[in-house]
Chain A
Amino acid sequence: MTTTAAGTDTLAERLAEVWADLEEQLAQVPILRRLDEGTVTLDDYLRLLFNLRQQVVDGSLWISRAASNFDVAHFELRAAAIRHAEEEHRDFLMLERDYVAVGGSLDQLRAGRKNIGSEALSGYMFHYADLPNPVGLLGAMFIIEGLGAQRAAGWAARFQEVLGLADSQVHFMRYHEQADSAHTGDLEAILDSGIIDAAAADDIVRCAQVVARLYALQLEELDR
């Protein structure tokens, strides 16, 4: 693993620190606290899906945009981004089916707009994806795929436990445990491949910090 100019910590250690900060922020998010306490309501689950959907629907778009900005010197990253965009671009449909399965209206869901946090997150991702060779986005991937792999299934299980939901009502969150675990495996392989230099590592950590904060903001700003 690369050692950076900023200190003696490896990239993995620096990302682990960003992750720990994110965990602390998530513990303060009201809807996640209610989920933890078991006081979460069906309306909370609907709101969470509604708010996530407005940003998730953009996921494949910024990944493909990033793919188009990797030059031939970053061929492996471009290949990975193209694969990833293909895998993600039907995800929001799964979320939409869950929303309908718990009584939500597809028309209203699709007519929804992003909350303040989602606007910031999505805006930042598109901005970053427009840069030439946006290697720093691996930091965004670390956060978003990490949430999917490490937290989403736990959230799904807790929603199921508290609200008595069927598996087919939490597809989106459950699916991400497997899919994003595979993606984080891919990510680790890239980070270990030796193509990340010190400057790129700094970019990755910085992007991870911003995305972690904006993701938490998205969860804090439900419906606003």
Chain B
Amino acid sequence: MTATAYLTGFGSYLPGEPVGNEGIAARLGGDDPVTQRIRRRVLEANGIRQRHYALDEHGEPTELNEQLAVKALQAALGDRGIGASDIRMLACATTMGDVLVPGFASMVHGRLGGGPKQLLSVAGVCASSLSALDAAVSKVRLGDHPRAAVVASELASRSLRQRRYDGIRSGMDAHFLRWMLSDGAGAVVVEFQPHPDRPSLRVDWVRQVSLAHEHDVCMRAGMSGPEPVVGRTWQDVDIAEAEAAGMFLLRQDVSMLDDLAGAGIRQFEELVDIGLIDVGHLDHVVCHYSTNAFRDVAFEALRRRIPTLDTDRWFSNLETRGNTGSASIFIALEEAWRTGRFAVGDTVLLAVPESGRFSFAFAHLTVVAPPGRATASQIKE
């Protein structure tokens, strides 16, 4: 017999004041006419109106990625009313930590404190968030840890500044992400018991699947083309050469994104087909997507299976919090939870497609009442 895992605390941290579209250039640069035109086009497509950067108004960094992670963790622990010493496992996801070595989780734990812990650093892109959640949930279910915390954190902005782009050939593959990504962190507390006096989110299952076996790289940094070549990665060549070759720009092959959306929808359909998602009892969908263009594709695909899915049951805060990569799903979940969108008995699907090399992660949650109080579903019975 295994235990059950519940999400009992939620936190997010978005650095600084929200930055509107007009404030981007002051921080990231790129105020020449060509770049301005590209920026406007990308922003129109992605629909993001506001985001946060850990950069001051001159584009200088204000915080480390590990600091964003710790602040989100502290918010989640505070929300649950416990301290860092109550957590026995810390699972941290990020696309790029502040340093190459050691792992991100070690740095987050060092800053957070709170006694000995099991650590996990999950490297990847957007779906690394749910991979970290999966690991923490699994350990809690096994009974190895009574409480764990999961954080996903991104500080992409510093590598999106003009100095990285000066003199380097960069096409739409680099600009698309440059005007889309921003900074933030989101965290959850996972426990083997529900919150004692308010509702919790029971984790019914987490699924993650990679289709890298049949897809080329879509999002990359550290190599000069879509295929890594022996002796030619950023670690092999001189740093100046790597920079001149544009290896330090984060790039995405935008021509593959339609395939990505299609593959993500097929994964969703498969979860419906094997019965993990009961479309008759799915109340909320919290979906990560990079741009509003994919919102419409995903929403319509889901509505084919769930005719009753209306916009009230669909939640994203992309437009106001920006695309924070792996952190997005927890930042969205925290806002949906805090603003009272979910009622006891409701089910929630988290969906995170990752363009990196075609990964998809889903989690299914059910809102449960505190112990000793009847749940809505019990009342219905």
Where the two chains meet, the residues of A that have a C-beta atom closer than 8 Å to any C-beta of B are 42, 101-103, 160, 163-169
Contact = CB atoms under 8 A, between A and B. Distances in A.
B142 A164 contact: no
A165 B147 contact: no
Interface of B: 1-4, 86, 141-147, 192-193
Contacts of B147: 103
A164 B4 contact: yes
19 contacts: A42-B193, A101-B143, A101-B144, A101-B145, A103-B147, A160-B1, A163-B193, A164-B3, A164-B4, A164-B192, A165-B192, A166-B1, A166-B2, A166-B141, A167-B1, A168-B142, A168-B144, A169-B143, A169-B192
Contact of A167 (B2, B86, B145, B193): B2
Nearest to B86: A103
A166 B4 CA distance: 8
A163 B2 CA distance: 11
A164 B2 CA distance: 8
Nearest to A103: B146
A167 B142 CA distance: 8
Contacts of B141: 166
A164 B143 contact: no
Contacts of A168: 142-144
A168 B142 CA distance: 7
B86 to A, nearest CB: 8
B148 to A, nearest CB: 12
A176 B144 CA distance: 20
Given A102-B192, A165-B3, A169-B143, 16 more contacts: A101-B145, A102-B143, A102-B146, A164-B3, A164-B4, A164-B192, A164-B193, A165-B1, A166-B1, A166-B143, A166-B192, A167-B1, A167-B143, A168-B142, A168-B143, A169-B3
Contacts of B144: 101, 168
Contacts of A166: 1-3, 141-143, 192
Contacts of A42: 193
Nearest to A41: B371
Contacts of A169: 3, 143, 192
Contacts of A164: 3-4, 192-193
Nearest to B146: A103
Nearest to B371: A41
A93 to B, nearest CB: 16
Nearest to B85: A105
Contacts of A163: 193
A101 B1 contact: no
Contacts of A101: 143-146
Nearest to A167: B1
A102 B141 CA distance: 11
Contacts of A165: 1, 3, 143, 192
B135 to A, nearest CB: 16
A169 to B, nearest CB: 4
A43 to B, nearest CB: 10
A167 B144 CA distance: 10
